[in-house]
Amino acid sequence: MQRYSGFGLVKHALRHHEDWQRQWRNPTPKPGYDVIIVGGGGHGLATAYYLAKEHGITNVAVLEKGWLGGGNTARNTTIVRSNYLWDESAALYEHAMKHWEGLSQELNYNVMFSQRGVLNLGHTLQDMRDIQRRVNANRLNGIDGEVLDAEGVQSLVPIMDCSKRARYPVMGASWQPRAGVARHDAVAWGYARAADALGVDLLQNTEVTGFKIRDGRILGVHTNRGDIEAKTVGCVTAGNSSVLAGMAGLNLPLESHPLQALVSEPLKPVLDTVVMSNHVHGYISQSDKGDLVIGAGIDGYNGYGQRGSYPTVEHTLQAIVEMFPIFSRVRMNRQWGGIVDTCPDACPILSKTKVKGLYFNCGWGTGGFKATPGSGHVFAASLAKGEMHPIAAPFSIDRFHSGALIDEHGAAGVAH
């Protein structure tokens, strides 16, 4: 792998940038691998990378039906935080946060992780009580957090309407300074390049159409490019996970919904943190290019269409203008949708299944981007050892029958 550096940039500039190495190969599928990862989003690519890097398992293929990162990974609004309420989820997301903090160095790829802080606003007394409880829980788990009053919020975000005249006045917020944003497609590309360098085959335009299962054990997958064998298969297919599970005769407690986002025309720097509001329901940050990155809730109906309804866009922008009247005349540039795999308790599923050797990593719903490095890290360990990693273990699919749910609904502020 050609390493990236400032010096390298100068050297290539002198050669008119004509001999940069391709970031990854485009191999033809081998007849079999030790491990197959289905889904070339951030979580799948990270899993492949850590399998090779930390467990020495390099005979690995990532099968992606489209292009790398073309799913939710490069469609999200890039918010990264770890201030979840319950111990299990706090451990998982904080595990990811620790990885984020060294990720650009680890991958030799600038993922533009920017710890500009995240505010979760409170607009009612109950909001403020929940915020207090969550920040206390976070601190007990060693996760940074502060409770701010309206004045504190106003001093961090001078352009926000924190006045008493607002329709839903801001009463305060939780503030996680270590939280922030990262460039989502760079995360997929960085993991892809690093995994490829360690020998992982990244197979794009390769769609899994069925599983080869004998006596309750996985033997491989059927694809549009032929059959590929593997005794360990990890499905990391987000909104399409129910379809994949169906191919193995399994049922997952997931519903796939459209989730939309939009970006504005580029503006001069005006917002240097991330603002989320559960109550008026919208969230916003400003990218390094200057565009406002905006999102809100899912479209309520099930959908696999990677697009959403206009009323949802309208509600989202109403919420943003409510908080930021200054943006009322900003024009929007682009709008798109992803398919999010929502779980009844708003927590992911990292689990073995009834089929030996077949694992699922899904259910991240509207908020899995932030978990990418941690999810890949613990899922790789689980695939390598054949036993779920202790951080992943509570997220087993069994919890929907045992009742040991990890209810992050509402508790974690907006679910992104």
Ligand X SMILES: Cc1cc2nc3c(=O)[nH]c(=O)nc-3n(C[C@H](O)[C@H](O)[C@H](O)COP(=O)(O)OP(=O)(O)OC[C@H]3O[C@@H](n4cnc5c(N)ncnc54)[C@H](O)[C@@H]3O)c2cc1C
Neighbours of 19 (CB within 10 A): 9
C-alpha distance from residue 301 to each of 8, 257, 314 (Å): 49, 6, 17
The count of residues interacting with other proteins (CB under 8 A) is 43
**Any contact of residue 270 with other proteins (CB under 8 A)?**
no
Cβ-based nearer residue to ligand X, 128 or 286: 286
Least Å distance between CB 86 and other proteins? 18
Distance (Å, rounded) from C-alpha 321 to C-alpha 328? 6
Distances (CA, A) of 120 to 65, 145, 157: 36, 11, 12
Q: Which is nearer to other proteins, 126 or 302 (CB)?
A: 302
Compose the 332-351 pattern: x for residues touching other proteins by CB under 8 A, - for all others. Answer: ------------x-------
Distance CA 415, CA 276 (A): 10
Report how far residue 53's alpha carbon sits from residue 58's, in angstroms, rounded to the nearest whole number.
Answer: 8
Report yes or no: 48 and 23 within 8 Å, Cβ to Cβ.
no
**Cβ 205 to other proteins, closest distance in Å?**
15
Inter-residue contact 194 to 51 (CB < 8 Å): no
Q: What does 64 bind: other proteins, ligand X, none (CB cut-off 5 to 8 Å by kind)? A: ligand X
Residue 19 interface partner, choices ligand X, other proteins, none, CB cut-off 5-8 Å depending on type: none
Q: Is 1 in the site for other proteins (CB under 8 A)?
A: no
Applying CB under 6 A, the residues found at the interface with ligand X are 38-44, 63-66, 70-73, 75-79, 207-208, 236-238, 240, 244, 259-261, 295, 338, 340, 364, 366-370, 416
Nearer to other proteins, 138 or 256 (CB): 256
Please, what is the minimum distance in Å from the beta carbon of residue 369 to other proteins? 21
What Å distances lie between residue 365 and 73, 130, 155, 185, 310, CA to CA?
12, 22, 33, 18, 21
Considering the complex, what minimum distance in angstroms separates the CB of residue 20 from other proteins? Answer: 38
Residue 102 binds other proteins (CB under 8 A): no
Question: What's the min distance (Å) between Cβ of 286 and other proteins?
Answer: 29
Q: Which helix (H) or strand (E) holds 266?
A: strand 255-266
Site string for other proteins, 291-310 (x = CB under 8 A): ---------xxxxxx---xx
Alpha helices in 174-309 (DSSP H): 184-197, 241-247
Is there a contact between 306 and 258 (Cβ–Cβ < 8 Å)?
A: yes
Summarize as ranges the residues that interact with other proteins (CB under 8 A). Answer: 209-217, 219-220, 222, 227, 240, 242-243, 246-256, 300-305, 309-311, 344, 354-355, 400-403
